[in-house]
Amino acid sequence: MIEPPEEVTPGRPAREDGRTPLVELADVSKYYGNIRALEGVSLEVHPGEITCVLGDNGAGKSTLIKIIAGLHQHDGGDLRIEGETAVLGSPREALDRGIATVYQDLAVVALMPVWRNFFLGSEPTKGKGPFRRLDVDFMRETTRAQLLRMGIDLRDVDQPIGTLSGGERQCVAIARAVYFGAKVLVLDEPTAALGVKQSGVVLKYVAAARDAGLGVVLITHNPHHAYLVGDRFVLLKRGAMAGSHAKDGIALDELIQQMAGGSELEELSHELARAPVPDHLGGHTADAE
Amino acid sequence: MTATAPSVRPPASPGGDERLLRTSPLRKLMGRPELGSVVGAVAVFVFFALVADSFLRASSLATVLYAASTIGIMAVPVSLLMIGGEFDLSAGVMVTSSALISSMFSYQMTANAWVGVGVSLLVTVGFGAFNGFMLTVTKLPSFIITLGTFLMLTGLNLGFTKLIDGTVSTKTIGDMWGFDSAHQVFASTWTIGGMDLKVTILWWLVMVAVATWILLRTRFGNWIFAAGGNADMARAVGVPVRRTKILLYMGVGFGAWVAGQNLLFSFDAVQSGEGVGNELIYIIAAVIGGCLITGGYGSAIGSAVGALIFGMTNKGIVFAEWNPDWFKFFVGAMLLLATLLNAWVRRRAEESRS
């Protein structure tokens, strides 16, 4: 039984314009034994929009991703895919329903050529019987064309994918998800291990995926990156939702403030302020002896 | 290995230039897994051609090729398995098991050599399936699983042979119906251009060709590379990693069957203690041929070149009239050199250019 989502969670943008979200979490909770990993989290993913999930380590971001990717099942609340209440039993099931997840570390097989990586698990073949073979020309050309569409211009799709930079590897994984018909793209900390320039490259492809009409869930702990591309922001703190905003409802400063936990940050700056060395520690100053 | 050269692209859009990589044809060649082994093979060939007068004679080369083929037939499936990320330490004694089963089944149960050949095929491929099944079910390292089956098969080979025939070797089946035709298939000699070539060379070449086709041009080949390169990632995109590994072990079983039937029909009777230690030779041939010991990289052609280096060194030392004790030293030195080269190739392939 699908309940009409009439209840409005506090902080949730009142932007119901009649569209059905691709994926919607309503009041979703997840417990590991007696540990509350996630409680009362709601978010919406619309086609052509980027929903950012922000939070510090341990805020419940990875639990959230695992629920959407089908690795874990939620204990409370509703997960709706295109308006339909669903429970995803496995990553394969999520894939079949158009939800592709790109993890930051295990996206590719480093020693395999780019084109073999691109089609891994869904290789196109031609010919019959014992002569059934990989359609190599098609695979090479498609890989080249799809990457070009995302803005990656590879001269040689035969190079091992390990020779690409971390950002480019993420991008190949994104291009792959787009090509294989994903409707929702879940990105787990795509910029976490990257430098400033590479992060920019990845964000460009995230935006390209959005422009291709996908709904994107971008998990990150970097509010700067999130604000650059995001349409909605969901803040998590200690497994609970600390806020949910549309882009026009929040400024970057505010987002950073909320994400860092305002008062906590002030407290920290107090603690870190230089203080005279206590006597019981010997009272040495830096220039003693 | 296709003829499709990468087409020359128009200059990239501004801003894309930094991502373009320069690859010279030389660099590409350096990237082939077989490269090190081919250089090594040429060096070994030139070396023995210079120091051993008889090395270049047609009969000598035929001997070298025969020695290489008996190793190469097993090195092919062993290298595929290694690319898939696993070992098989039972491969050496499995050859002997295959020959023993064929011989004893024919002798005890029927009077037709071909029946034994067929039963042996089923049982040997079954051994391979057992290895693969145990591996995927227990998730233990293949080193342990196949060390176990290696010892078990060694014991079974000796135990059953003594139990049934009373000695350590099987009874001769040379007078049996079907022996001659089986001998034709597995152990005959063809004279081509003055060289007496064993039919095992043909088996070997066909197996290399088929394995290369599988590796480079089939979905299964893609899965082998992925299973060895990053099994978790492969599973995440829907590659049946379990099935892939079991099939690879069955491939080793098939190789052991071919090599075992050659053993049986060449010598008519089989020594039950044979084969111990050969598993390492197959692995060494695969490694010299460019297979990464950690999986995900290598080629079937490389394993063939590795086997050829083995054959040349093994027989070259005899032709040079040296003490064959030196053989092991050469093999060890080549293995070290090949592994160093492989490690360097891998570092190059995996290094990030961010």
Which tens digit of pLDDT belongs to each residue from B315-331? 998 888 888 888 888 88
Contact B16 A120 (CB under 8 A): no
Test A163 with B9 for CB contact under 8 angstroms.
no
Mean pLDDT of chain B: 86
pLDDT score at A281: 64
Indicate yes or no: CB of A163 within 8 angstroms of CB of B353.
yes
Q: Do A155 and B229 touch (CB under 8 A)?
A: no
- Local confidence band at B259 (pLDDT 50, 70, 90 cut-offs): very high
- The two structure tokens encoding residue B328: 């092991």
> Quick one: pLDDT band at residue B147, thresholds 50, 70, 90?
very high
Which residue in chain B is spatially nearest to A103 when comparing CA positions?
B233
Band of residue B262 on the pLDDT scale cut at 50, 70, 90: very high
Confidence class of residue B4 from pLDDT cuts 50, 70 and 90? very low
Q: Which chain B residue is nearest to residue A107, measuring alpha carbons?
A: B233
Residue B143: what pLDDT? 93
Locate B108 and state its tokens: 């005890």
Shortest Cα–Cα distance, B158 to chain A (Å): 40
Read off the tokens for B325: 């004790």
Mean pLDDT of B183-196: 88
Quote the minimal CA–CA distance from B238 to chain A in Å: 5
Residue B9 has pLDDT above 80, yes or no: no
Per-residue 3-state assignment (H helix, E strand, C coil) for chain B: CCCCCCCCCCCCCCCCHHHCCCCCHHHHHHCCCCHHHHHHHHHHHHHHHHHCHHHHCHHHHHHHHHHHHHHHHHHHHHHHHHHCCCCCCCHHHHHHHHHHHHHHHHHHHCCEHHHHHHHHHHHHHHHHHHHHHHHHHHCCCHHHHHHHHHHHHHHHHHHHHHHHHCCCECCCCCCCECHHHHHHHHHCEEEECCEEEEHHHHHHHHHHHHHHHHHHHCHHHHHHHHHHHCHHHHHHCCCCHHHHHHHHHHHHHHHHHHHHHHHHHHHCCCECCCCCCHHHHHHHHHHHCCCCCCCCCCCHHHHHHHHHHHHHHHHHHHHCCCCCCHHHHHHHHHHHHHHHHHHHHHHHHHCCCC
Average pLDDT of the residues in B239-263: 95
B225/A157 CB distance under 8 A: no
Q: What is the mean predicted confidence (pLDDT) over B97-118? A: 90
Closest approach of A154 to chain B, Cα-based (Å): 6
List per-residue pLDDT tens for chain A, 289 residues long.
444 444 444 444 444 556 788 989 889 999 888 888 888 889 899 999 999 998 887 788 888 888 888 888 888 889 999 888 888 887 778 888 888 888 766 567 888 899 999 998 888 899 888 888 999 999 999 999 988 877 778 778 888 888 887 778 888 888 888 888 889 999 888 888 777 887 888 888 888 888 888 899 999 888 888 888 999 999 888 888 888 888 888 888 888 877 766 566 677 777 787 766 666 666 555 554 4
Is B75 or A253 the better-scoring residue by pLDDT?
B75
Does residue A152 belong to the interface with chain B, where contact is any CB pair within 8 Å? yes
Q: What is the mean pLDDT of chain A?
A: 81
Asked if A136's CB is within 8 angstroms of B217's CB, the reply is: yes
Give, in degrees to the nearest 5, the angle at Cα A49 between A45 and A51: 55
Residue B137 is predicted with a pLDDT of 93
Alpha carbon distances (Å) from A129 to A125, A132, A169: 11, 5, 35
pLDDT of residue B95: 96
B-interface mutation test, from A105, A112, A122, A125, most B Cβ less than 10 A away: A112
Identify whether the C-beta of residue A106 lies closer than 8 Å to the C-beta of residue A169.
Answer: no
Buried b (16+ CB within 10 A) or exposed e, A94-121: bbebbbbbbbbeebbbbbbbbbbbbbbb
Q: What is the mean pLDDT of residues B52-77?
A: 92
Residue B349: its pLDDT value, please? Answer: 60
Q: Do the Cβ atoms of B23 and A165 come within 8 Å?
A: no
- C-beta atoms of A160 and B349 within 8 A: yes
Determine, for residues A156 and B229 on separate chains, whether the beta-carbon distance falls below 8 Å.
no
Q: What is the pLDDT of residue B96?
A: 96
Instruction: List chain A residues with CB under 8 Å of B9.
Output: 153, 155
In chain A, DSSP assigns E strands to 23-32, 35-45, 50-55, 76-81, 84-85, 99-102, 125-126, 133-134, 184-188, 215-220, 232-237, 240-246
A152: nearest CA partner in chain B: B16
Residue B348's CB: how many other CB atoms inside 10 A? 14
Q: Which of A265-269, B18-22, B289-293 has the lowest mean pLDDT?
A: B18-22
Pairwise CB contact (< 8 Å): B222 & A160: no
Any B CB within 8 A of A113 CB:
no
For chain B, the residues whose C-beta falls within 8 A of a C-beta of chain A are 2, 4, 6, 9, 12-13, 16, 19-21, 23, 31, 213, 217-219, 221-222, 225-226, 229-230, 232-234, 236-239, 292, 296-297, 346, 349-354
Measured between CB atoms, which of A162, A166, A198 is closest to B349?
Answer: A162
**Which residues in chain A touch residue B218, judged by CB atoms under 8 angstroms apart?**
125, 132-134
Highest mean pLDDT among A12-16, A130-134, B193-197, B219-223: B219-223
